[in-house]
Amino acid sequence: MARQSPQRPDADEPELDDTDAAAAADEVEEDRPPADRALWEEVRIDPVEIALPSGTGFTLRAYRQARELTPTDVAERDQDDPFLARRQVVETEDDEEVVILDEEFAALSAEEDDEDEEKDAKARRKDKAGASDDEKAETETEDDAEDEDEDDEAGDEEVPVFLTHKGRLLLFKTPESLVTFIRSGAPNDLSQLDSWNELSERLEPADIAPLDEDTYELDLVVENLRGGHDAWDHELLIEAGEIARDLAYALRLPAVLDMLSSGSSLDDLDEALRASVNGGVGGFLGRRRLKKIGAQTASLGWRTIVGKISAVVDWRD
């Protein structure tokens, strides 16, 4: 049987080369209406997409004042944590038991915290020793007022909260599975929000369309850092820092918060990245600072962070 030749387009119909085809596809995407954001704006909650080495999933995030939130309960999670399972119980000379938790975190921060506390204590003792009784009383009153002000400021601070339960981040592989979970009434930490019931009643799978700024690729961070300074994707790394800090706060991961805290090497990396993308003299200085940051140190630090976040993810189909 003779082989049939492929159909050719009509003579009057022009062929599209690759450039024309790409342009046509872009026009289709531009014509496509964006996902309706009205619901998310009303409930003040956003869909988020996070890529980790083990996969990509959808979840939800909101920002509220700290005083309005009950933190996620990590007691059950910490019992199963392989890092905390290696805790040591040491008996002192007074037969007291001292429990050393999370050796990795203790090694990073304990020494520095002890030095700061000792300095503060010495300064307070010195100030009070040279003061009269009236001055002491006045100082104590001022200290109490300052503590209350700090507590008020902490309560007024806007903090992140995610779709979590018992210290674990709930990630869903499809929008449908996320919506099914929300509608089921299953317990989670976002259900404490006053807008949660409205969201669960109105949400549809088509609404699960995260904005670009709510899409994070933590799975690419370590490999990108290993590529060396010239290969670093500044936007990728800056966004990774943002989501890691939010997750560390919401999931109560003190080791991750410490690694990203002000003055840490990874915080220096983040500041240099932000400065370098701003241009001008600041951008020039930022790029110079980046050259001084070790790629290996940065990649090892981020590997630890991604590993600790991955360890507290509860994947849902």
134 with 277, same domain: the answer is no
Is residue 123, in this structure, part of any structural domain at all? yes
106 with 177, same domain: the answer is no
How many domains is the chain partitioned into structurally? 2
200 with 227, same domain: the answer is yes
272 with 300, same domain: the answer is yes
Instruction: Identify the domain boundary among 128, 157, 186.
Output: 157
Is residue 301, in this structure, part of any structural domain at all? yes
Is residue 126, in this structure, part of any structural domain at all? yes
Instruction: Kindly tell me if the per-residue pLDDT of 253 is higher than 90.
Output: yes
106 with 219, same domain: the answer is no
Domain that holds residue 144: 88-157
240 with 123, same domain: the answer is no
Instruction: Kindly tell me if the per-residue pLDDT of 17 is higher than 60.
Output: no
227 with 274, same domain: the answer is yes
Instruction: Kindly tell me if the per-residue pLDDT of 256 is higher than 60.
Output: yes
| Res 86: pLDDT | 46
Q: Give the tokens for residue 131.
A: 């003061």
Q: pLDDT tens across 87-137, in order? A: 434 333 444 444 434 454 344 445 545 554 665 565 565 555 555 555 555
302 with 215, same domain: the answer is yes
136 with 53, same domain: the answer is no
Is residue 209, in this structure, part of any structural domain at all? yes
Residues 6+ apart with CB under 8 A from 49: 56, 57, 58, 210, 214, 215, 216
Is residue 291, in this structure, part of any structural domain at all? yes
Is residue 12, in this structure, part of any structural domain at all? no
| Res 275: pLDDT | 87
127 with 275, same domain: the answer is no
Task: Pick from 13-22, 210-219, 258-267 the range whose average pLDDT is largest.
Answer: 210-219
Residues 6+ apart with CB under 8 A from 301: 259, 265, 266
Q: pLDDT tens across 295-316, in order? A: 888 999 999 999 999 999 999 9
Instruction: Identify the domain boundary among 157, 182, 202.
Output: 157
| Res 286: pLDDT | 73
| Res 91: pLDDT | 37
Q: What is the pTM of this model?
A: 0.69
Is residue 284, in this structure, part of any structural domain at all? yes
Position with higher pLDDT, 239 vs 114: 239
135 with 243, same domain: the answer is no
124 with 197, same domain: the answer is no
Instruction: Identify the domain boundary among 157, 182, 208.
Output: 157
Q: Is 271 left (phi over 0), alpha (psi -120 to 50) or beta?
A: alpha
Is residue 116, in this structure, part of any structural domain at all? yes
